[in-house]
Structure 1
Amino acid sequence: MQRFAWTGHSSQGTTSGTIEASHASAAAEALIGRGITPLTIRAASPSGDAGGGGAGSGSGGGDAMTTLRSWLPADLFDKKVDPVDLLVFSRQLNTLLRAGVPILRALMGLQETATSDKMKTTLAEVRRSLESGIALSMSLAQHPRVFDNFYIALVRVGEMTGRLDEIFLRLFHHQEFELFMRQQVKSALRYPSFVVSAMVAAIVVINVMVIPAFATVFQNAGVTLPLATRILLATSRFTLDYGAFLLLGAGAAVVVLRAWIATPEGRLRWDGWMLRIPVAGKIVRKAMLARFARSFSLSLKSGVPISQALTVVAQTVDNQHIARRIDGMRESVERGESVLRAAAVTGIFTPVVLQMLAVGEETGAIDELLEEVCDLYNNEVQYELKTLSAQLEPILIVFLGVLVLILALGVFLPVWDLGRTAFAK
């Protein structure tokens, strides 16, 4: 037995460790059985470090560079692959494989015709890995920013079943669905984002330019100002005196919030809060259920066992709160409980999903019924997104009305009082 140092992806994020196996492929299979998608597997030295490392007596400059890289995000200067490029890649590879083109020749052709430099580089590295004898799924797993866990898991199933062409067609439809959902969300949030941005800009302009002009007049009048006016003057003065600190504080708060969300505990709490937001929470929940149903159905249709399919789905659901519940569902299934009972205990599924799972277990057609669940919630999410602007419009109108009321009371009440005083004299 040999010891290997590995890094991989699980439902909790990136992880690493060591494992004993007869060879690297056996180590990869053992990690996959644990629900971990391996990224790198290297022979470990007797001390437990990964083999192949050079002597540690390098210059101090190298140590400084390593320290700097550890502080910076790994993908700071790394260009992302556009989802459309990956969508086209899946469709073209399906066509080439179905036509009988060998995988290496197909990848070479796709590399030459790719419009994205990042995609060209990725395909070149995947092709070199294949030429060195590494399986396609393992070659793709070395590029987690391009191919996610769900993509890699289905490619691995295609390798085992000899149906890679069908797998890439299913991945194409899955990516098409995901891209459509993202576009719907962006379209729905465009109008509310514009209105909120305009309100924030208006508040800043009023506090910095408008109210200071009135402040001089009010102070010279020597009269008692209404409460609303005093609030406006104090807010404007605070903005002028501490505006830079407010911007720095807001920027620091965003950085701290993102760092906290990047932690496992912070991401879990944040995703749980996202499901409880008054208007958007129900849309997020329905979208997650649609994604769960589609991913689970696609995995089962591709021949993935139920427990492994749940592991894959937990890694691909973009919500750690739901992913933890799906992990618990997988553990219950592995203990021998039915899928229906395991799903009911999680508390995240609606009665519609539970009824479909019950019928699916009785008829042996869980994959087909889950696909209907996906279509159902997909249609509901589309309707919710189309009416999102109408749902947010009353809230925005109320905030805008309150803002106008405060400004009107704060500016015009003292002007009116001054006018009455002048007429009285």
Structure 2
Amino acid sequence: MMRFAYTGRSAAGPVNGTLEGADANAVADLLLARGVTPLRIEAEAGAVEVVEGAPTPVLERLKAMLQPPVHTVDLMLFCRQLHTLMRAGVPILRALLGLQESATHPGMKACLAEVRRSLESGIELSMSFAQQSQLFNGFFVAMVRVGEMTGRLDEVFDRLFQHLEFEMFMHQQVKSALRYPSFVIAAMVAAIGVINVMVIPAFAGVFATFNAELPLPTKILLATSKFTVDFGWLIALAGIGAFFGWNTWRRTPAGKLKWDEFVLKMPVAGKIVRKAMLARFARGFSMALKSGVPIERALAAVSQTVENAFIAKRVDGMRESVERGESITRSAAATGVFTPVVLQMIGVGEETGAIDELMEEVADLYSNEVQYELKTLSQQVEPILIVFLGALVLVLALGVFLPMWDLGRAASGNHS
């Protein structure tokens, strides 16, 4: 047994440490079972086996950064074509060569070339994909590894295609639902800026000639406008700094965990995100089990597909409970993230031995619910937007017209 140092990526973020194993592949198996996608494995003494590949030159890295990102559609097409070629009996190296030559995206072409190079050097296909972590996530690598062990790689790539198709559909639905609220909020922010910078200062000179006590709403508007005009640059800098600070914090493991937990508690979006995450979990769990993945490894792989660090951490805790001998239902209930419907389906599936089929039904159920929620999202957000717009108009009306009304009333009284 040798001791190997490793670096990898889990649902909670980058990880590193040391493990003992017969070789680097054995250590990789242990890491994948724990929900960690290995990026680099090397023996502590003597020979070194690098899983991530040699560092690329600076110019090549700069060129890779300037390339457009590989979209989900490109990855879906790759999975579908590779499934077809392998089902037809084409050797994997020849299939990858053909897909590399026919790829239209330069990033995809370069990635497949690296995969082929690693495969030709004796590295397993799953580990070759793991080296290209910018394109193939932990779930993808884990599923390919299962296909290697079971000899059903063609089926695995077909299921990966279905999984990616579902993911792309969900993202498109979310973008479509958020388009209208985003436009309205942007218009409100722009209107507030124009009013503070251009409209209110024009009225300020008129109000100054009144030589009278101004109402409170008017004082608030004038003070807000003066602050915006005098310190607008400071507000802009503070806003930019706050955005970059928040974005940096959100990318840290602790920040991502806290933010993802907060998102689940948001009034309107929280329930939609939770249902979407449960649908993604159920779909991935069902697909992994149907491919012959052991439950512990399936949970480890699925935790990396859930794009929510809080739920991913709970799923990983569920895996640890199952490894200790707890039932799947009790482990799922202890996480506190699954709805009663999901827990009941897991319980029935555990009793009947059909968890994969029932999880697929759960995925379909919540997928349909998410679609409905997204279609009605505009209707749910409209009352909130109308309240904000009404409050804005009310404040402006009171602030601008109250002094004029008082002046008109005073003028009519003097005339009488």
Shorter-chain TM band: over 0.9
8 Å CA contact retained: 1:8, 1:36: yes
For 2:240, the equivalent position in structure 1 comes to: 251
8 Å CA contact retained: 1:80, 1:145: no
Amino acid at match of 2:358: L
8 Å CA contact retained: 1:357, 1:369: yes
Q: Secondary structure at the match of 1:222?
A: coil
Match of 1:284 among 267, 270, 273: 273
Q: Does 1:358 align with 2:344?
A: no
Amino acid at match of 1:307: E
Q: Percent identity?
A: 65
Q: Does 1:145 align with 2:134?
A: yes
For 2:24, the equivalent position in structure 1 comes to: 24
Q: Does 1:11 align with 2:16?
A: no
For 1:226, the equivalent position in structure 2 comes to: 215
8 Å CA contact retained: 1:107, 1:127: yes
Match of 1:131 among 117, 120, 123: 120
For 1:182, the equivalent position in structure 2 comes to: 171
Cα distance change on mapping 1:283 and 1:174 into 2, 3 Å: same
For 1:272, the equivalent position in structure 2 comes to: 261
Match of 1:321 among 286, 289, 310: 310
Amino acid at match of 1:354: L
Q: Quick one: distance in 1 between partners of 2:341 and 2:44?
A: 50
For 1:35, the equivalent position in structure 2 comes to: 35
In the TM superposition, what is the alpha-carbon distance from 1:221 to its structure 2 partner?
2.1
For 2:229, the equivalent position in structure 1 comes to: 240
8 Å CA contact retained: 1:329, 1:342: yes
Q: Quick one: distance in 1 between partners of 2:22 and 2:365?
A: 47
Q: Quick one: distance in 2 between partners of 1:246 and 1:391?
A: 31
8 Å CA contact retained: 2:28, 2:38: yes
Q: Secondary structure at the match of 2:132?
A: coil
Q: Secondary structure at the match of 2:303?
A: helix
For 2:376, the equivalent position in structure 1 comes to: 387
Match of 2:91 among 79, 91, 102: 102
TM-score (normalizing by structure 1) = 0.91
Q: Quick one: distance in 1 between partners of 2:229 and 2:383?
A: 32
8 Å CA contact retained: 1:158, 1:167: yes
Match of 1:90 among 74, 79, 83: 79
Q: Secondary structure at the match of 1:266?
A: helix
- How many residue pairs get matched? 408
Q: Does 1:211 align with 2:196?
A: no
Match of 2:108 among 78, 94, 119: 119
In the TM superposition, what is the alpha-carbon distance from 1:331 to its structure 2 partner?
1.5
In the TM superposition, what is the alpha-carbon distance from 1:79 to its structure 2 partner?
4.2
Q: Map Cα deviations across residues 60-79 of structure 1 (whole Å, 9 max, x no partner).
A: xx9xx9xxx9xxx9x96564
Cα distance change on mapping 1:328 and 1:22 into 2, 3 Å: closer
Q: Quick one: distance in 2 between partners of 1:24 and 1:192?
A: 50
8 Å CA contact retained: 2:33, 2:296: no
Q: Secondary structure at the match of 1:256?
A: helix
Q: Gaps (5+ residues) in structure 1?
A: 55-61
Q: Map Cα deviations across residues 26-85 of structure 1 (whole Å, 9 max, x no partner).
A: 23223223332211223444699989xx9xxxxxxx9xx9xxx9xxx9x96564211111
Q: Quick one: distance in 1 between partners of 2:224 and 2:127?
A: 58
Q: Map Cα deviations across residues 359-379 of structure 1 (whole Å, 9 max, x no partner).
A: 111111000001000000000
Q: Secondary structure at the match of 1:316?
A: coil
Q: Secondary structure at the match of 2:209?
A: helix
Q: Quick one: distance in 2 between partners of 1:44 and 1:76?
A: 32
Amino acid at match of 2:11: S
8 Å CA contact retained: 2:67, 2:106: no
Match of 2:191 among 202, 206, 210: 202
TM-score (normalizing by structure 2) = 0.93
Q: Map Cα deviations across residues 262-310 of structure 1 (whole Å, 9 max, x no partner).
A: 2222211111111110111110111111111111101100111011111
In the TM superposition, what is the alpha-carbon distance from 1:95 to its structure 2 partner?
0.9
Q: Quick one: distance in 2 between partners of 1:389 and 1:12?
A: 33
Q: Quick one: distance in 2 between partners of 1:275 and 1:156?
A: 32
In the TM superposition, what is the alpha-carbon distance from 1:25 to its structure 2 partner?
2.0
In the TM superposition, what is the alpha-carbon distance from 1:18 to its structure 2 partner?
3.2
Q: Gaps (5+ residues) in structure 2?
A: none
